[in-house]
Amino acid sequence: MREIIHSYSDTGFHRTIGEMIKKRSENNEDIRSIAVNMINWDGIKDVLDLGCGYGWFEDGMRGGFNIVLGIDCLAENESSFLRAARGISKTALFQKHILPCSIDMPDGSFDLVVSAYSLYFFPEEIEEAKRLLRPSGMFLAITHSESMLREGEKFFDFTNLRRVIRGFSAENGEEALRVHFQDVRYIDYRNAIVFSRYEKKDLAGYIDFKREFISRDADPEKVMMTMLDELERKGTMRFNKDDRIFLARK
């Protein structure tokens, strides 16, 4: 797991892949915009981002907050996260922790807790998120569908990778949240990323970004060659990118 998490330490590469996914996506609506529109922002002043990365979600948020605190296990993400958080808050903070863990903050410190594409690494942190929320607070989580592995599993057995995603997926996230929250709703984000045979470089970059995930089950180089050969043979390849946005209240 440590190697998987370390794959996110190159923030420049992470951003590049994010932009490439956006460019190749069938769904042109930014998932952050959908998530933002799910929330009633009245009274939301203090925000916590669990597994904040380089500030991807903050780049899509509205401003006017008092505090935005990001928690991540990679120190490499601190400067870019703080840069994004300072643009939307009076006070931007970053703490380096390996989640799940207890966070040294009083009960009810935040109006909103966010975890975008990270909760499957630390689903045990849901209980801590609830503790840190004020009575009227909300917990927002964005995660992948297990169907994201569909195309690759035609060629390889991704049992271990599937186990990671099942930590908190579109399919089981509601059940995990209802253990701690009474009100849980969600919106599905249907999407796929599409590559043509003239976009092999983008497909190779996408697979390379997933290298540490893939290596739990298969040789990443073999996976890359197999997918590139398949792209050449078929002329186009479509990879499932369905996600789900959860919003939970106490």
DSSP 199-210: GHHHHHHHHHHT
Residue 48 backbone zone (phi > 0: left; psi -120 to 50: alpha; other: beta): beta
DSSP 181-193: -SEEEEEEE--EE
At 96 the three-state DSSP class reads strand
* 142 burial via Cβ count (<10 Å: 0-12, 13-18, 19+): buried
Q: Which residue has the tokens 């599409």?
A: 194
Report DSSP state, residue 40.
-
10-residue mean pLDDT profile of the chain (250 residues): values are: 58 88 95 96 97 95 95 94 98 96 97 97 97 97 94 93 95 98 98 96 92 89 96 95 97
Residue 9's pLDDT is what?
62
Residue 14's pLDDT is what?
84
Distances (CA, A) of 225 to 128, 220, 221: 42, 9, 6
Contact 74, 9 (CB under 8 A): yes
Residue 1's pLDDT is what?
54
Residue 134's pLDDT is what?
97
First to last CA, the chain: 31
Residue 212's pLDDT is what?
82
* Closest to 196 measured CA to CA, from 155, 225, 233, 150: 233
Q: Going from the N-terminus, what domains does the chain have, and what CATH number goes with each? A: 2-249 (3.40.50.150)
- Report the predicted TM-score, pTM, of the whole model to 2 decimal places: 0.94
CB atoms within 10 A of CB 60: 16
Tokens encoding 117? 């594409």
Q: Which residue has the tokens 């807790």?
A: 113
DSSP alpha helices (H): ranges in the chain? 2-6, 11-24, 31-38, 78-86, 126-132, 159-165, 173-178, 200-209, 211-214, 220-234
